[in-house]
Amino acid sequence: MRRPDILTLIFVFLGGLALLFLIAPLGGLILQSSALELMETIQDPEVQGSIWLSLWTAMGATLAFGVCAVPLAWLLARKDFPGKKIITAIIDLPLMIPHSAAGIALLTILSRHTVLGKAAEKAGISLVGGPAGIVAAMAFVSLPFLINSARTGFEAVDVRLEKTAMNLGASSLRTFFTITLPFAWRAVIAGTVLMFGRGMSEFGAVIIVAYHPITAPVLIYERFGAYGLRYARPAAIVFIGVCLVVFVILRVVAEKRH
């Protein structure tokens, strides 16, 4: 057998350190919690409700705003227009600003005293302190993941394929759905999974816009602040376990669809 070269050995060592850094805290969580604590936490209605809320609001944010994010990603990948660099910077801004600041920014358009807030109140929707506010907070911080991933996927599609389809009589809309989107599908799915995962784990913006009803990250923080590490640890393990199962399922479905 061929001996590994020095570059491979160095990269294996450095990669192993990075992997150890990810695994060690998770292993510490599990080793310091008993099976009884985990079972009691799994059966806790408050924990179950918070995890379910996190799941469906993250999915709602992904579906509702993803419909707009994919077309925007295509425009950024295919069209040149004034202010494109500024728009790209604005899209990346939620990745850089503190998420508590993101929550405060959202309050300026979602609070009950704003036009949008008043309109929502008349429709019976509470944007602040309600699931709709959680969806908005999750979408605000997670949209860049889908837009950037989908844009990269669209840029990788050979423009000549699209031009050939249109020269053969296909409309631009049909070309998008039969040529562009199928070739960029893997990147779009990857971005969708990342957006969903980022939204489900959001804390800073959510706690400002809608402290109640309580999502899983907020519940973990609340238990840590009120009762300490020992009481918060089992809830964190259960939520991490749910996240792992969901992401594995999404990855498997995405691979089969591809």
Q: What pLDDT was estimated at residue 25?
A: 86
pTM: 0.88
Measured distance CA(236)–CA(41) in Å, rounded: 10
**pLDDT for 199:** 93
pLDDT for the residue numbered 113: 85
* Averaged pLDDT for residues 101-120: 89
With beta carbons less than 8 A apart as the criterion, state whether 135 and 60 touch.
yes
pLDDT band with cut points at 50, 70 and 90 for residue 208: very high
Q: What is the per-residue burial (b if ≥16 Cβ within 10 Å, else e) of 84-122? A: eeeeeeebeebeeeebeebbebbbeebeeeeeebeebee
pLDDT of residue 257: 56
Question: Which residue is it, tokens 């069209």?
Answer: 79
* Average pLDDT in the chain: 90
Q: Which domains does the chain have, with CATH numbers?
A: 45-158+185-257 (1.10.3720.10)
pLDDT, one tens digit per residue, over 69-106 is 999 999 999 999 899 999 999 999 998 899 899 999 99
